[in-house]
Amino acid sequence: MTRRIKLEDDYRELQLGVGASLEEVKSAYRELAMFWHPDQFHDRPGRLARAHEKMTRINLAYERIRKELAHQARSRLSTARTKSPSPHSRTGHRPSTAWTNSLGMKFVSVPGTSVLFCVWETRVQDYATYAQAAPGVDASWKNPGFSQTGTHPVVKVSWEDAQGFCRWITQKERQEGKVPAVAQYRLPSDSEWSWAVGIGDRERDGTPRDKGKRLKDLYPWGTAWPPPQGAGNYDPCLGTDSFDYTSPAGSFEPNLQGLFDLGGNVWEWCEDFLNGTSGVRVLRGGSWNFSGPDHLLSSYRNGVAADARSSGIGFRCVLDGMAI
For 251-285, what is each residue's pLDDT tens digit? 999 999 999 999 999 999 999 999 999 999 999 99
Closest CA to 92 of 252, 298, 263: 252
**What span, in angstroms and rounded, lies between the C-alpha atoms of 121 and 199?**
19
Question: Could you give the dihedral angle defined by the CA atoms of residues 27, 28, 29 and 31, in that order, rounded to the nearest 10 degrees?
Answer: 90
**What span, in angstroms and rounded, lies between the C-alpha atoms of 182 and 324?**
15
Q: What's the half-sphere exposure (Cβ side, CA atoms, 13 Å) at 197?
A: 30
Distances, alpha carbon 245 to alpha carbons 14, 146, 149, in Å? 19, 7, 12
Question: Which range among 30-44, 129-143, 197-211 shows the weakest confidence by mean pLDDT?
Answer: 30-44
Mean pLDDT, residues 120-134: 98
**What span, in angstroms and rounded, lies between the C-alpha atoms of 250 and 238?**
20
Q: In this predicted structure, what is the pLDDT of residue 141?
A: 98
Higher pLDDT, 203 or 49: 203
Res. 5 pLDDT band, cuts 50 70 90: low
Residue-averaged pLDDT of the chain: 88
Res. 70 pLDDT band, cuts 50 70 90: low
For 78-109, how does the pLDDT look when each residue is reduced to its tens digit (9 = 90+)?
A: 444 444 433 333 344 455 589 999 999 999 99
Res. 1 pLDDT band, cuts 50 70 90: very low
Residues 6+ apart with CB under 8 A from 35: none
Percent of the chain with pLDDT over 90: 68
**What span, in angstroms and rounded, lies between the C-alpha atoms of 314 and 287?**
9
Mean pLDDT, residues 123-127: 98
Q: Are 179 and 116 in contact (CB under 8 A)?
A: no
**What span, in angstroms and rounded, lies between the C-alpha atoms of 235 and 273?**
26
Please measure the distance between the N-terminal and C-terminal CA atoms of the chain and give it in whole angstroms.
56
Mean pLDDT, residues 283-307: 96
Mean pLDDT, residues 288-315: 96
Q: Report DSSP letters for 165-176, one per residue.
A: HHHHHHHHHHHH
What is the DSSP secondary structure assignment for residue 227, as one 8-state letter?
Answer: P
Res. 76 pLDDT band, cuts 50 70 90: very low
**What span, in angstroms and rounded, lies between the C-alpha atoms of 58 and 25?**
11
Q: Are 174 and 183 in contact (CB under 8 A)?
A: yes
What is the DSSP secondary structure assignment for residue 296, as one 8-state letter?
Answer: T
Q: In this predicted structure, what is the pLDDT of residue 72?
A: 41
Q: Which helix (H) or strand (E) holds 66?
A: helix 48-69
Q: Are 66 and 12 in contact (CB under 8 A)?
A: no
